[in-house]
Chains A and B, each alone.
Chain A
Amino acid sequence: MERGQLIRAMESILGTEGVVHEREQLRSYECDGLMNYRVIPDLVVLPETAEHVQRIVRTCYEEGIPFVARGSGTGLSGGALPVESGVLIVLSRMRKILEVDIPNQRIVVEPGVINIWVSQEVAGEGYYYAPDPASQIVSSIGGNLAENSGGVHCLKYGFTTNHVMGAEVVLADGSIVHIGGGKAPDAPGYELLGALVGSEGTLGIATKITLRLLRKPEAVRTLLAAFEDTEAAGDAVSAIIGGGIVPAAIEMMDALCIEAVETAVHPGFPEAEAILIVELDGPEAEAEDQFQRTIEACEEANASEIRIAEDDAERALFWKGRKAAFAAMGRISNDYYVQDSVVPRTELGAVLKRINQLGEEYGMRVANVFHAGDGNLHPLVLYDNDNPGEAEKAEKLAGDIVLTCLEHGGSLTGEHGIGEDKKKYMPKMFTDDDMATMQLLRCAFDPHNLCNPGKIFPTPRLCGERPGPFRMHPVQKAGLAENF
């Protein structure tokens, strides 16, 4: 199909106001929250209903045109990076909350609904939606589902995958299927929901998502502890969790990070090499007891200062500082490159030490802000894109950091996803057979490799050799094999 024809076909589905096709406009969609990779899509479409999505996908399927779904475009791994000659399906106009079902602790939303809207919708009833990525004020539920987003409170409450109960999904061929449970908490058959959540848009496009709601905890206690080095802070983390406490959150920030957020939102953090923010919640008595033990653990790890949030306002201030961390990096650096590796908690100290060494070796600044409780690191390599060669150097340093984490038994990503950015590291973590098994699943959903092709896996195989319009595999052409 010619581009002009495709535009008209899409306009017949969405009207002229739902199709972006002028070059200059398309440029604003060439990257998501990660600016390192840029591809201008052929076309951007803005569906408003599941039926729109279905018709768009069906058109793409019939014409062999690859497509990528995008929510608010805040992802940090290039998961919503467009593909060349492909269609970008932007779901930001599908933002209706469809059903609130408090007695069954569930809510049904469209994918473009913003994470925090969900909590706000049910706040009056004493409920909330637990996953709270730092971008929760702007990132969409659809994007959260695709990336299996975490957030500062996922140590205790789990990731998005623990809170999605079901989804209506448009598959690559345009069929609509329902995955997961309805009102009942459990569904028989394969646990496809687990595969869908975190599939980074490669298995289909969710058009309706049922989420689990939690009752707000009775009590919340928050403290901020300052340390003279990151290792001491790491020790405190180990001591707290080793003591049998599962805090709602333990977050660590280093000196560079503290500097950035101080400039941006002035939370009044103490000057220190590292700070921890620890939050405990639950029934009053339990939270209080664990809180005292947490304070003791911090003291034993030689905390130079411990601040206890006296009221909600002070607690809000602690979190404000933490949540603005990434975005505030613009205050101390033109560009940054963020990683999302996970290491076993026990390796935290050693890994942080090595990251510092690497920074020194490269002569570059690395800021650290991370979910210390589950060892999910977010090292931010600071650089200036205008200095020739610095971006490449930053990427290389970031790569070395990832490899360091893997050497310590870690994982590539905690919550940002693999996307475009980290796919080259997949073979470092998985064997060919491991990845082939994952791809079997992908091919079962998307045999023609149309659905967000080129992401997650370094080299597509089995169901297509490369991203772009569908081309028949040479082996198929020869009649030797069929698509999965």
Chain B
Amino acid sequence: MTEQDRPDPRQSGNRYDATSAAERRDDQSGTTREQAMAGAIGAGNPQDVGQSTFAATTDSLQHTMGKDRPESGSYTFPAFDSHHPPEKDLIDDCVHCGFCLPTCPTYVLFGEEMDSPRGRIYLMNKGLTEEPMNDTMVRHWDLCLGCMACVTACPSGVQYDKLIEATRAQVERRYERRADDKAFREMIFQLFPYRSRLRLAAGPLRLYQRFGIGDKLKKAGVMSRLPARMRAMEALMPKLQKEEKIPEHTSPTGERRRRVGVLTGCVQQVFFSQVNSATVRVLAAEGCEVVAPKSQGCCGALSTHAGREEESLNFARKTIDTFERENLDNVIVNAAGCGSTMKEYAYLLRDDPEYAERAKRFSAKVKDVSEFLQEIGTVAERHPLPVAAAYHDACHLAHQQGVRQQPRKTLKQIPGMEVKEITEAEVCCGSAGIYNMVEPEPAAELGERKAKNVLKTGAQMIVTSNPGCMLQIQASLKKMGREIPMAHPAEVLDASIRGEPVETLLDGRGLQG
């Protein structure tokens, strides 16, 4: 790929612009000098990056460095083949300065080089010519959450997102996972992207039993991590609520300003359909004609982030097909991970002659709901909601899409609403797509860390823009015996526009699970 073809983060509007960082927080504690320092790595405040003196517990370390991580013995040399290996010139952008370390969740937990962005890049570089694809290399790439905090932090503009995605696709093709690991992952990918299957399987025990996984996997291996993984999955699953049906077509209130599509998604629609209906109502109230095609499916985010290349491209093509027909001004997404992937379609489908151009046009239309609302400006009246809410940055919204101010602004436009900032805002909560299911130990520690920081804000509720984060934070709080109501910014805005009392956001809004 030539320099010209490569989307440049410096040009692309999707990316985080470090200039805005210092303006981001209202509660700028710390001295100017410290803020300047934090600014150098893209954080608004030193409080936003890894703070604590807390290293991972032995249990978690055992699964990374220690002996408890099962291995398959798979070996291929060199690590990468010629089909989209992590690009050498992207790797060379890294000058090994280490500025990524304090925002990397695994470095914060483990304090070792292989589980840091620059360490992983170093291993990629070695994998190009000198080292094999084997258990050791793969474990450190697997342990990456893909939160992209390092992309924000990197002063040299290293495109780690592209590097790790390329690496993961190679891992999935060239590395033979252990039977139990493979089966567990397969189960996830046969389940989550499909609404109908997810609905059926949503009760965790039903899921466990239905697929007979327990038995199958007992046969598979001795040192299986299955029990921990299943426990993590069960803990995450909320109880199914009555699913709110999303109309395929919704007319705007008042004059039509835009015609937009809405991605209702897979996990979002099954577990959080109320977020989708709120999104549609808000968009309609702001003068949008809303189309939610019935035929839409998964956008492919989970598969993309896990390196399942073919699967993810198929999901991408289908999504483009579905929305293209509708002649839309914009495609609105309310899940951070989905939005970031859909903005990436242009890159993912760059080799596909039939789709490359279409994907480019499609990606340009994709907006996160808060991003879109701030762009078109508000017309609907906001009614007061006197509540203090902690806003949690979803990694794929903040780091990957650079959307930080917009959701905060959206909330602050509501009279009476107070937005609290969470310490270590840059550090991932541990949800990270399928991460909390496949790497339950570090994910649980990050979740607990995030939950503690959320509690410290003293906020009455948590607002965040990603279903995965909601499940993760709620599960972590529950483990600590706490419960805090959670909502998506669209739900909060919906309540405000409809003039609902604040209690509707607070009462019984912990995710029942």
Residues of A that sit less than 8 Å from B by CB: 15-20, 22-25, 27-29, 31-33, 35, 44, 46, 48, 72-74, 90, 92-93, 95-97, 112-114, 116-117, 119-120, 123-124, 128, 132, 134-139, 153, 216, 220, 263-268, 312-313, 315-320, 322-324, 326-331, 334-336, 385-386
Cβ of A15: which chain B residues have Cβ within 8 Å of it?
58, 66
Whether B102 and A114, one on each chain, are in contact in the complex, defined by CB atoms closer than 8 angstroms, is: yes
Complex Cα distance A70/B483, Å?
42
Whether A137 and B18, one on each chain, are in contact in the complex, defined by CB atoms closer than 8 angstroms, is: no
Cβ of A119: which chain B residues have Cβ within 8 Å of it?
30-31, 33-34
Whether B92 and A112, one on each chain, are in contact in the complex, defined by CB atoms closer than 8 angstroms, is: no
Cβ of A264: which chain B residues have Cβ within 8 Å of it?
18, 155-157
Cβ of B445: which chain A residues have Cβ within 8 Å of it?
none
Complex Cα distance A327/B158, Å?
11
Whether A27 and B126, one on each chain, are in contact in the complex, defined by CB atoms closer than 8 angstroms, is: yes
Cβ of B113: which chain A residues have Cβ within 8 Å of it?
28-29, 73, 90
Per-residue contact bits, chain B 150-170, to A (CB 8 Å; 1 contact, 0 not): 000011111000000000000
Whether B35 and A336, one on each chain, are in contact in the complex, defined by CB atoms closer than 8 angstroms, is: no
**CB-CB under 8 A for A25 and B98, given A120-B46, A313-B22, A320-B40:** no
Cβ of A334: which chain B residues have Cβ within 8 Å of it?
92-93
Whether A120 and B97, one on each chain, are in contact in the complex, defined by CB atoms closer than 8 angstroms, is: no
Cβ of B40: which chain A residues have Cβ within 8 Å of it?
134, 137, 265, 319-320, 323-324, 327
| B112–chain A nearest beta-carbon distance, Å | 6
| B118–chain A nearest beta-carbon distance, Å | 8
Whether B155 and A327, one on each chain, are in contact in the complex, defined by CB atoms closer than 8 angstroms, is: yes
**CB-CB under 8 A for A265 and B155, given A25-B136, A313-B23:** yes
7 A-B pairs with least C-beta separation: A330-B156, A319-B36, A327-B155, A320-B39, A17-B61, A17-B66, A92-B111
Complex Cα distance A35/B46, Å?
27
Complex Cα distance A318/B38, Å?
13
Whether A20 and B66, one on each chain, are in contact in the complex, defined by CB atoms closer than 8 angstroms, is: no
Complex Cα distance A329/B93, Å?
9
Whether A327 and B92, one on each chain, are in contact in the complex, defined by CB atoms closer than 8 angstroms, is: no
Cβ of B49: which chain A residues have Cβ within 8 Å of it?
137
| B130–chain A nearest beta-carbon distance, Å | 8
Whether A312 and B65, one on each chain, are in contact in the complex, defined by CB atoms closer than 8 angstroms, is: no
Complex Cα distance A93/B112, Å?
8
Closest to A265 in B: B18
Per-residue contact bits, chain B 65-99, to A (CB 8 Å; 1 contact, 0 not): 11100000000000000000000000011111111
Closest to A266 in B: B19
Cβ of A385: which chain B residues have Cβ within 8 Å of it?
92
Interface residue? B418 (CB, 8 A)? no
Whether A312 and B30, one on each chain, are in contact in the complex, defined by CB atoms closer than 8 angstroms, is: no
Cβ of A23: which chain B residues have Cβ within 8 Å of it?
131, 136
Whether B131 and A27, one on each chain, are in contact in the complex, defined by CB atoms closer than 8 angstroms, is: yes
**CB-CB under 8 A for A25 and B111, given A93-B55, A327-B156:** no
Query: Looking at the complex, which one of B46, B123, B155 makes contact with A28 (CB distance below 8 Å)?
Result: B123
Interface residue? B64 (CB, 8 A)? yes
**CB-CB under 8 A for A24 and B134, given A316-B36, A327-B97:** yes
Whether B53 and A117, one on each chain, are in contact in the complex, defined by CB atoms closer than 8 angstroms, is: yes
Closest to A95 in B: B53
| B376–chain A nearest beta-carbon distance, Å | 26
Whether A33 and B32, one on each chain, are in contact in the complex, defined by CB atoms closer than 8 angstroms, is: no
**CB-CB under 8 A for A128 and B31, given A266-B17, A319-B36, A319-B37:** yes
Cβ of B35: which chain A residues have Cβ within 8 Å of it?
312, 316
Whether B157 and A331, one on each chain, are in contact in the complex, defined by CB atoms closer than 8 angstroms, is: yes
Cβ of A312: which chain B residues have Cβ within 8 Å of it?
28, 32, 35
Whether B122 and A27, one on each chain, are in contact in the complex, defined by CB atoms closer than 8 angstroms, is: yes
Whether A35 and B95, one on each chain, are in contact in the complex, defined by CB atoms closer than 8 angstroms, is: yes
Q: Name 16 interchain pairs, CB-CB below 8 A, sorted by A.
A: A15-B66, A24-B136, A24-B137, A46-B112, A120-B34, A123-B29, A139-B98, A153-B33, A263-B10, A264-B156, A265-B18, A316-B39, A323-B36, A323-B40, A329-B156, A331-B157
Whether B102 and A123, one on each chain, are in contact in the complex, defined by CB atoms closer than 8 angstroms, is: no
Interface residue? B101 (CB, 8 A)? yes
Closest to B119 in A: A28
Complex Cα distance A51/B122, Å?
31
**CB-CB under 8 A for A138 and B99, given A24-B137, A46-B112, A320-B18:** yes
Interface residue? B114 (CB, 8 A)? yes
Cβ of A220: which chain B residues have Cβ within 8 Å of it?
32
| B319–chain A nearest beta-carbon distance, Å | 34
Query: Looking at the complex, which one of B46, B98, B140 makes contact with A73 (CB distance below 8 Å)?
Result: B98
Most chain A C-beta atoms within 10 Å of own C-beta, residue among B17, B36, B49, B157: B36
**CB-CB under 8 A for A135 and B98, given A25-B114, A265-B40:** yes
Cβ of A320: which chain B residues have Cβ within 8 Å of it?
18, 22, 36, 39-40
Whether A35 and B96, one on each chain, are in contact in the complex, defined by CB atoms closer than 8 angstroms, is: yes
| A110–chain B nearest beta-carbon distance, Å | 8
Complex Cα distance A451/B28, Å?
43
Interface residue? B314 (CB, 8 A)? no
Cβ of A22: which chain B residues have Cβ within 8 Å of it?
136
Complex Cα distance A263/B92, Å?
17
Whether A135 and B51, one on each chain, are in contact in the complex, defined by CB atoms closer than 8 angstroms, is: no
**CB-CB under 8 A for A326 and B53, given A265-B155, A319-B33:** no
Complex Cα distance A135/B136, Å?
30
**CB-CB under 8 A for A316 and B22, given A114-B102, A138-B102:** yes
Cβ of B98: which chain A residues have Cβ within 8 Å of it?
33, 72-74, 135, 138-139
Cβ of B140: which chain A residues have Cβ within 8 Å of it?
25
Closest to B115 in A: A28
Complex Cα distance A90/B49, Å?
21
Whether B95 and A319, one on each chain, are in contact in the complex, defined by CB atoms closer than 8 angstroms, is: no
Whether A336 and B95, one on each chain, are in contact in the complex, defined by CB atoms closer than 8 angstroms, is: yes
Cβ of A324: which chain B residues have Cβ within 8 Å of it?
40-41, 155
Interface residue? B374 (CB, 8 A)? no
Interface residue? B47 (CB, 8 A)? yes
Complex Cα distance A335/B137, Å?
25
Cβ of A31: which chain B residues have Cβ within 8 Å of it?
96
Q: Which residues of chain B from 449 to 495 have any CB-CB distance to chain A below 8 Å in the complex?
A: none
Complex Cα distance A84/B199, Å?
57
| A284–chain B nearest beta-carbon distance, Å | 16
Cβ of A95: which chain B residues have Cβ within 8 Å of it?
53, 55, 111
| B408–chain A nearest beta-carbon distance, Å | 17
Cβ of A386: which chain B residues have Cβ within 8 Å of it?
92
Cβ of A329: which chain B residues have Cβ within 8 Å of it?
95, 156
Whether B55 and A317, one on each chain, are in contact in the complex, defined by CB atoms closer than 8 angstroms, is: no
Whether A72 and B101, one on each chain, are in contact in the complex, defined by CB atoms closer than 8 angstroms, is: yes
Complex Cα distance A264/B19, Å?
9
Whether B102 and A137, one on each chain, are in contact in the complex, defined by CB atoms closer than 8 angstroms, is: yes
Closest to B39 in A: A320
Whether B158 and A330, one on each chain, are in contact in the complex, defined by CB atoms closer than 8 angstroms, is: yes
Complex Cα distance A322/B39, Å?
11
| A207–chain B nearest beta-carbon distance, Å | 15
